[in-house]
Structure 1
Amino acid sequence: MRASRAAAFAALMLAAVTALPAAPTAAAATTGQVGPAGTWYSMSNYRVLDTRVGKNVPVGTVGPDSITRLDVTKVLFGITPTAVVMNVTAVDATDNSFITAFPDGQALPTVSNLNATPNHRVTSNRATVQVGADGVVNIYNHVGRVHLVVDLQGYYSDRDGGGDGGRFVVGEPTRLLDTRTAIGGHPGKLVGGTAGVINLDASSVGSPSDNMVVQATVTEPTESAHLTMYPAGQSPWNTSDLNFDPGQTVTNLSYAYTTGDRRLALYANSGEAHVVVDYIGGFVRRANDSSSSGKFIPVNPVRVLDTREGLGAAEAKAAPGSTTRVKVTGLNGVPETVAAVVLNLTGTNAGEDGHITAFRAGAARPSTSSLNYTGNEDTGAMTVVPVSTDGYVELYNPHGSVDLVADVQGYYSS
């Protein structure tokens, strides 16, 4: 494993300021391990790894070129899923680095799930990861030392779970909340503490279930804090969906539980911040629906776009007001026709802050955001994007110039 890691990353660093792996060669991008189709089983954000306290791993930061093993079967009490959705958090990074999660038993892929930096004490991103045949997920840290924290939000399984498993239904991207405006009915910043909790009514989008997929963004925060989303009426969960510093704009995807009448609680532990929530889709339980579409098929992650290298698009930054058309099917076992892909989007080499909207190629561009990137930093966010019948998505950049990187983590069947 050590030799394969060294070979995979022999030419990683394009420049000293970036901590993203370089684009793979065309040959490397055409092979991969495809997992079986699975249905979704949601969890209440269960912490499964924390190097700060030694939860399921030794206490202490992980070092450069290291792999931390997470035994998923063990933490799920004997269940071996096909893939997991987890929030990966980097704490107290000593260098600009990237974190890559991948199935045990597979070669380290040339992708990233999270970009860690000393500029921010805590950085998190959602990751969808295929599970190795032995039930283990590997978490790789490129350079420096860093603490790792992992919260499990749910998993996919190809085994019958009594009809509770869900299939994904693509929704119409919709802005549910923007506290900078009256959208969602809660104008004004979210105030930290239980007294400031926002109970968002999300019933307007007609989600097929109480398990919704949403993209949450925090902007203009006054303090370092975290955002947690959970069903309205409950106490705040002891996990986080977003971690942020003062003045930072951060986006993360969440497979959020709501109440039966589609109410979602938003809680910040301190300070004040504006919050934006965009609806992407939801899950319908197999017990109520016999359709075979919307099952998730994990792949060993594959890079489909890197504008630094001319992979998937021209070798040039995405210009202000530009739309980048990206082919996301036909590689690593992803078929030509899929309902949606799970992407990790990264913005890098930007001179200023900005955002990206990802959407089905040829469709009307929604008034939502998939990634909010920071100038002079590598910024990533996982998202779910519907795919056109010919296998494309589009990435719209409204302002500033930025290099874009996109990694496919899996897809939903059509």
Structure 2
Amino acid sequence: MRASRAAAFAALMLAAGTVLPAAPTAAAATSQVGPASTWFSISNYRILDTREGKNAPVGAVGPDSVTRLDITKILHGITPNAVVMNVTAVDATANSFITAFPGGRPMPTVSNLNATPNHKVTTNRVTVQVGADGVVNLYNHVGNVHLVADLQGYYTDRYSGSEGNAFVVGEPTRLLDTRTTVGGHPGKLVGGPAGVINLDVSPAQVPTDNLVVQATVTEPTESAHLSMYPAGQSPWSTSDLNFDPGQTVTNVSYAYTTGDHRLALYTNSGQAHVVVDFLGSFQRRTADSGTAGLFIPTDPARVLDTREGLGAPAAKAGPGSTTRVKVTGLNGVPETVAAVVLNLTGTNADEDGHVTAYRAGAARPSTSSLNYTGNEDTGAMTVVPVSTDGYIELYNPHGSVDLVADVQGYYSS
């Protein structure tokens, strides 16, 4: 459900970007694990824009800089345990990376967004624990870049008498592929209100209007953005994806549908193919609900880096390869969890490609979790179910690429 303060939040327009730390620059001596939390969603709400001086000085942030976001102040006294934001890098002057981490904590060796001058705008979803001081930090490694952040929701304890929402792991399922007839809308999404696709998500068989989906845009004809929102509403002024002509981009979204389970997809310009994969849903809790599906934020932790042999042999993932990764028993994550929230990055790729992340030992789904670009660092947040022995698998169908995975929290089983 949406937080009761949602109506008070205004939503504006969005954009994004990152590069990748290869060795620790700072390490937390002790992992900090947050309390078990429930989900409260809000209409996308802009909380940072350095182009306009919103909650930061006007002007691009510089190299080796930290931008503080006072979440408690932004939410008028609410201090959540973690927040979910769409973070955007605009007009980067150098290949760089952005790291989100809790206020008052050492900066971890992880990245959330890879910015490059090759793209005016780069976007990625970020889940990050909020510091005890109510602050979230955004670190920029090198060069100058504008930062934009849109809040999509937060995790906290009971709020205003509500028990919040718990995550229900879904079987990864393709709901839409406009390159085919999957989803019933063959042909590219056309820019403008007249081109809106109203996607029926009922095949996911979820009795809720709050879904978690992975959206991909491919073969766009112009620089534009994709927005997803409940069918029947006017297009939202925030974006889920930003892309350039010919680019393939993936991002996860916590999307709302209408009561009849329809999700609107809108692009503001040009034409593009769109793919939507179902990952799970949030369902309302009651006072007697159990503990399954609660989110526990952790200090961000790297669990895989094939460049260095962390979590897997020191070798690129080749075409047709599957990389098995242990994601539990580390950094405060227990041995048994339902799913992990992680940032998956492809780097040193010799060609464009994609990666499918799924529960180890399960049948490999026909979905994608990351679409990477040759000779660029490309990251995407995703939610991955975990096997009972604590593993996920990453399938790379073609090309060779180094893979990096950073865990940001987990859902209880």
TM-score range, shorter chain: over 0.9
Alignment map for 1:133-282 (pairs within 5 Å): 133-163=132-162, 165-282=164-281
Q: Secondary structure at the match of 2:208?
A: coil
CA-CA distance at 1:159 after TM superposition: 3.0
Paired residue secondary structure (1:300): strand
Query: Whole-Å Cα distance in 2 between the matches of residues 51 and 400 of structure 1?
Result: 37
Secondary structure at 1:204 match in 2: helix
- What is the percent sequence identity of the aligned residues? 83
Secondary structure of the residue aligned to 2:286 is: helix
Q: Deviations over 1:98-127 (max 9, x none)?
A: 000000000000000000000000000000
Q: Measure how far apart 1:331 and its partner are.
A: 1.1
Q: In 2, distance between residues paired with 1:289 and 1:192? A: 46
What amino acid is the match of 2:145?
A: V
Q: Provide Cα deviations, 1:61-92, integer angstroms capped at 9, x if missing partner.
A: 00000000011111111110000000000000
Counterpart of 1:98 in structure 2 is 97
For 1:208 and 1:337, the matched residues in 2 are separated by 26
Quick check: 1:175–1:278 contact (8 Å CA) kept in 2? yes
SS at match of 1:303: strand
Q: Is the 8 A contact 1:31 1:331 kept in 2?
A: no
Mapping for residues 48-63 of structure 1, pairs under 5 Å: 48-63=47-62
Q: 2:10 maps to which residue?
A: none
Whether 1:400 and 2:399 are equivalent positions in the alignment is: yes
Question: Using the alignment, how far apart are the partners of 1:275 and 1:204 within structure 2?
Answer: 17
* Correspondence for 1:122: 121
Q: Which residue of 2 aligns with 1:293?
A: 292
Residue in 2 aligned with 1:325?
A: 324
Query: 1:343: which partner in 2?
Result: 342
SS of the aligned residue for 2:21 comes to coil
Q: Helix, strand or coil: the match of 2:194?
A: helix
Structure 2: gaps of 5 or more residues? 1-17
Q: Cα distance, 1:368 vs. partner?
A: 0.3
| 1:77 and 2:73 aligned | no
Please give the alpha-carbon distance, in whole angstroms, between the structure 2 residues aligned to 1:29 and 1:316. 27
In structure 2, do the counterparts of structure 1 residues 383 and 318 end up closer, same or farther at CA, with 3 Å as the change threshold?
same
Q: Distance in 1 between matches of 2:61 and 2:72?
A: 22
Whole-angstrom distance in 1 between the partners of 2:241 and 2:229: 13
What is the Cα deviation at residue 289 of structure 1?
6.8
Q: Counterpart of 2:44?
A: 45
- Report the Cα distance in structure 2 between the residues aligned to 1:215 and 1:308, rounded to whole angstroms: 26
Change (3 A) 1:194 1:48: same
1:233 Cα offset (Å)? 0.4
| Alignment-mate amino acid for residue 253 of structure 1 | V
CA contact (8 A) 1:348 1:404 kept: yes
**Deviation, structure 1 residue 169:** 0.2
CA-to-partner distance for each residue in 1:2-24, whole Å, 9 max, x for gaps?
Answer: xxxxxxxxxxxxxxxx9311244
Partner of 2:282: 283
Q: Specify the code of the residue in structure 1 equivalent to 2:369.
A: S
Structure 1 residues 151-160 or 331-340, which shifts more? 151-160
Which consecutive unaligned segments of at least 5 residues does structure 1 have? 1-17
Q: CA deviation at 1:28?
A: 5.0
In 2, Cα distance between equivalents of 1:73 and 1:81:
8
Contact 1:41–1:164 at 8 Å: present in 2 too? no
The alpha carbon displacement at 1:164 in A equals 5.1
Q: Distance in 1 between matches of 2:209 and 2:92?
A: 36
Bigger Cα displacement from structure 2, 391-400 vs 284-293: 284-293
Paired with 2:317 and 2:194, the residues of 1 have a C-alpha distance of 42
Q: Which amino acid aligns with 1:116?
A: A
| Alpha-carbon separation, structure 2, partners of 1:200 and 1:162 | 33
The answer on whether the counterparts of 2:28 and 2:107 sit within 8 Å (CA) in structure 1 is no
- The two structures have a TM-score, normalised by structure 1, of 0.94
Equivalent-residue separation in structure 1 for 2:295 and 2:206 (angstroms):
18
SS at match of 1:73: helix
| 1:380 counterpart = 2:379 | yes
Q: Structure 2-normalised TM-score?
A: 0.94
Q: Hey, what's the Cα distance between the residues in 1 that align with 2:23 and 2:194?
A: 47
Aligned ranges 1:7-46 → 2 under 5 Å = 19-24=19-24, 31-46=30-45
Structure 1 distance, partners of 2:110, 2:397, is 25
Q: How many residues align?
A: 396
Give, in angstroms, the shift of residue 197 of structure 1.
0.4
CA contact (8 A) 1:169 1:208 kept: no
**Aligned partners of 1:75, 1:107: CA distance in 2, in Å?**
23
- Partners of 2:61 and 2:260 lie apart in 1 by 43
Instruction: Say what the alpha-carbon RMSD is for the aligned residues.
Output: 1.5
Matched letter for residue 39 of structure 2: W
- How far residue 29 of structure 1 moved from its aligned partner, in angstroms, is 7.9
Q: 159-168 or 303-312, which moves further after superposition?
A: 159-168
Q: Which residue of 2 aligns with 1:334?
A: 333
Q: Equivalents in 2 of 1:404, 1:249: separation in Å?
A: 18
Letter in 1 for 2:22: A
Preserved CA contact (<8 Å) 2:319 2:399: yes
1:343/1:208 CA distance change after superposition, 3 Å: farther
CA contact (8 A) 2:306 2:313 kept: yes
For 2:5, the equivalent position in structure 1 comes to none
Three-state SS of the structure 1 residue aligned to 2:151 is strand
